Every structure is written in C-alpha cells, then in structure tokens.
Amino acid sequence: MKNLILSIFFFVLFFKPSLGAGLTKDDLLKMSPSQIIVFAKNGDPLAQLWLGDAIYNGSIPNWNRYSSCKWYYKSAEQNNSEAALKLYHMIKVGDASSDCPKIIGIKKPNLDKNYWLLKSARLNNPDAQLTLFENVRSTDDENDQKIGFMWLKKAVKNNFPPAITKLAYLHLWGSYVERDIGEAIKLFAKASKLDIKNDAPDRELAEIYSNELYLNGTAENELKFKKGQINKDEYEATKELLKRRDYTNYFDIKKAILSAETCVQKMFTFRCYLMLINYNSEKIYNNVNYEEALMWLNEAEEVLKKSDFYPTILSTKGWAYLTWDNLKVDKLKAREYFQKALNNYKKLRRPSEKRIKLYETWISSTY
C-alpha cells in the first residue's frame, strides 16, 4: 500500500504540467488501472470516463463493485461529451434508470436521457448530433425535423463519417433535401475516405456506378412479363418504380469495381465479393473478364468459409463451371460444387425447403 501511494505521488509530480489542464488520453495510456482510479476519484473527467468504460466492459479487477453509470455521470457533469452520450444510452436501455438512483450518491440525480443527449450534442459530439437527427426522423412535426436536420448538418461539418453517409442517402432519396445523385456520390466518396472500417459508402458507390439495381431489376421485370408471370399493369408499375434506381448518367464500371475493391479491403463481406464477381462475369456490365471474376470467386470461397453466404459462393462456382468461357464446361465439377453448397446450406440454422429443392434441381441438371 505504501509503495502504491509513493508511485502515485511521483506520477502526479511527473505529470504536473499536463494535469493542470486535465489528463489526456496519452497520459492515461502511461498509467496503471489503480492510478487511473485515484485520478477518477479526485475528479478528473477523462479518468472517470475511462473508469466507466472499464467497469462496463468488466476489464478491471472487482469491476462489479463499481458502477459505470456513476462514473459516466460524474464525467458528464464536467462536460465530457462522450460520457454524456454513454449515459444517455444507458438510461435509454434501462440500465441507469434502475441502478443510478441507488449508487450515484446524489439525492436527486438527473436521469432525463434527452438532457444528456442534448448536452453531448451541444458539446459538439457528432455522434450525439446524428442521434438527435435519427430520433426525429419518424416524427410528423416539421419544426422537430428542421431542428434534427440542423444537428445532422453540424455532425457533417464535424466530418463524422456516419453523418456524411446519412446525408448522402438523403440526397440519393430526395428526403429533407432535393434529390441530387452527383452530391450523393461526392458525400459517399468523402465518407469512404474518412472511415476505414465501414463499407456502406463503398457499396452504394459501386451500386450507383454499375447501375446494377436498375439493370438487374429491368431484366427480371422483362423476363417475368415474357413468361406471363406478371400482367401489363404490373410490368409498367415496376418499370416506373425502377426509374428511381436508374443511374445511367453515372455509369462507370471501372469506378464501380474500384469501389467494390475498397469495400472488400474494409470488410471482406459477401456482398462486396459478389459485386466484383458479377461486374466481371455478367454481360450487362460490358466488362466481361472471367479470369478476374474467377480470382475474386476463389478468394471469396476461401475467406467466407464460416459465413452463412458460403453456400451461395459455392453454387456460384458451380454455375461458373457451366457457363464461364474461361472454364471448360465441366458438369462433374459443377455438380460437386452444387452438392457442397447443399450440404453447407443444410447446416445453417433455418434452411428453407424451397432453397433445398432449388439446389437439388441444379444438381439433377448436371447429369
């Protein structure tokens, strides 16, 4: 105990210049948990935030003796915007409403979740600003919607990628703002550069540049009409709806592929791999390159082994052996992949009989 007190004394002495203005994140990285707890108890808001996180994550010894809500509250009271936002979320899901009144040590703690959200937003926390916008999206009150949109623009001004992505969607849909595909593209591109983990902007850019939703939707609508599966009115109605997805003026398959590649680099998701496979193998994109498609298909087969989409990748490989020009038609190989796809699909939590029959039909077609 004596050694701990001495170490903390010398630590405080060493950090004296920085502590005058409060701890920094770099300061915290140099401290032991026990030292941070001392600073939290002495009122440092960043140490209190750290302690709240550590308790919430169960990452400190005897964490269940403490309350994360208590330390978020103390930090938020001292204008820590991140703590205020976390306190908002705790109250919203019910954790704080049952525990905080008993453990904070304050007679009448303020547990109004909206108060803490607004406080966080006013302290210029972009996540809180975006949350304020999301909270009023479904309301019919025009004034509330205007205020919410104001907060969204503040979050965008703070270069918060999710907010920039949200504004891009609004321009794409023509919601809150005039529909402007060009502006949506600029915003998606900006969000993509700022966020190295979220692949949503890259997926949207790939869809716009490839015009895939319109092209595939139109082809499917035409086929259904020719087969008599839909009548003239249904055909025309679908055709009209698809116009909203027509990005012909922005078609650029090279940019679509670049966006899909960025998407794969970030998340390695099935959707991004499928884009790259389709863009290089389907003739509607005027970019047939079966060798490139096969490269992405092989990589997807390896990377997505534990994914629920693995059966789809396997069946795509099966069809490649039946239809791609760079692979000799090999019904035996196709059957092998269709069977493997079926076997893996049956292992999923809720396989559908319809899908199973479809795989069986594909298998029988290879004999």
Q: 41-52: per-residue pLDDT in tens?
A: 999 999 999 999
Strands in 3-123 per DSSP E: none
Q: How do residues 345-367 score in pLDDT, each as one tens digit? A: 999 999 999 999 999 999 999 99
**Cα–Cα distance for residue pair 323/328, rounded to 1 Å:** 9
Q: How do residues 223-233 score in pLDDT, each as one tens digit? A: 999 999 999 99
Hey, how many other C-beta atoms are within 10 angstroms of the C-beta on 122? 15
Q: What is the pLDDT of residue 30?
A: 86
Closest CA to 177 of 198, 153, 141: 153
Cβ(124)–Cβ(158) below 8 Å: yes
CATH architecture of 127-295: Alpha Horseshoe (1.25)
Q: What is the pLDDT of residue 174?
A: 95
**What single string gives the DSSP state of each residue in 97-153?**
HHHHHHHS--SS----HHHHHHHHHHTT-HHHHHHHHHHHTT---HHHHHHHHHHHH
**Cα–Cα distance for residue pair 249/185, rounded to 1 Å:** 12
Identical fold between 2-123 and 127-295: yes
Q: What is the pLDDT of residue 212?
A: 96
- Pull the structure tokens for residue 84: 């205020």
Q: Phi/psi of residue 211, each to 5°?
A: 60, 30
- Pull the structure tokens for residue 207: 């869809």
**Cα–Cα distance for residue pair 219/190, rounded to 1 Å:** 32
Question: Is 1.10.3210 the CATH classification of the domain at 2-123?
Answer: no
Q: Write down the domain spans for the chain.
A: 2-123, 127-295, 305-367
**What single string gives the DSSP state of each residue in 222-244?**
HHHHHTTSS-HHHHHHHHHHHGG
- pLDDT tens digits in sequence order for the chain, 367 residues long: 545 444 544 444 444 434 445 788 888 888 888 898 899 999 999 999 999 998 888 887 776 677 888 899 999 999 999 999 999 998 888 754 455 666 666 677 888 999 999 999 999 999 999 999 999 988 888 899 999 999 999 999 999 999 999 999 999 999 999 999 999 999 999 999 999 889 999 999 999 999 999 999 999 999 999 999 999 999 999 999 999 999 999 999 999 999 999 999 999 999 999 999 999 999 999 999 999 999 999 999 999 999 999 999 999 999 999 999 888 899 999 999 999 999 999 999 999 999 999 999 999 999 9
- Whether the pTM exceeds 0.85: the reply is yes
pLDDT mean across residues, the chain: 90
Q: What is the pLDDT of residue 19?
A: 44
CA 66 to chain centre: 32
Q: What is the pLDDT of residue 104?
A: 64
